[in-house]
Amino acid sequence: MSTTVVVTERERYTVAGIIRHLAREQPDHEMSVLGEERRTWAEAFDVACRVAHAAAREGVTVGDRIAFLDRNGIAYFDVLFGGSLIGAVNVAVNWRLAPAEMAAIIDDSQAPVVIIHTDYLAALADMPRGHRRDATDRLLRPTGGFLRDVDRWCGDR
């Protein structure tokens, strides 16, 4: 069964508008499935709101970047949607790059927050010293389930 979703003129041009609209109009429909992990639009919006609040507490504002270094997965959308709710821009850093290339992208973005999976902490350690390496207190380092770490970063809201 196919459902037609109408996106308003105002919402149709933004990532934030799309998730708001779909969370309201199709809250129980699945937004993503990865293995056994499933996320509805309502759940995705809830996590995105928590990411947005946490990023705002870190000082992220409209036009700032949030760098994301991990493999493809649902966590990417959590950060993409969460950042979009506060007007931040997502910077996806390819996990296949060499550490120096990762550092160049992160440094160029001037992202005040870098979200990095523990699998890539060794790459972080190998990055040339620079803007990102000096801001280790601003890193969210997921260890296992991303939601658990978002909960910790977001204050278990």
On whether the CB atoms of residues 40 and 31 are closer than 8 A, the answer is yes
Name the more confident of 113 and 33. 33
What does the pLDDT average to over 9-35? 88
pLDDT of 28: 97
Query: Comparing C-alpha atoms, which of 75, 52, 67, 71 is closest to residue 119?
Result: 71
Query: For residues 75 and 84, what is the distance between their CA atoms, to the nearest angstrom?
Result: 14
Q: Find residue 116's DSSP bridge partners.
A: 69
The whole-chain average pLDDT of the chain stands at: 80
- Over 70: is that where the pLDDT of 74 sits? yes
**Selected residue with higher pLDDT from 79 and 131:** 79
Give the alpha-carbon dihedral of 109, 112, 118, 121, to 10 degrees.
Answer: 70
All residues at 6 or more sequence positions from 72 whose CB lies less than 8 Å from its CB, including other chains: none
Confidence check: pLDDT of 86 > 50? yes
- pLDDT bucket at 63, cuts 50 / 70 / 90: very high
pTM beyond 0.95: no
Task: Reply yes or no on whether the pLDDT at 77 is more than 70.
Answer: yes
pLDDT interval class at 113 (50, 70, 90): confident
SS3 101: helix
| Element (DSSP H or E) covering residue 140 | strand 139-140
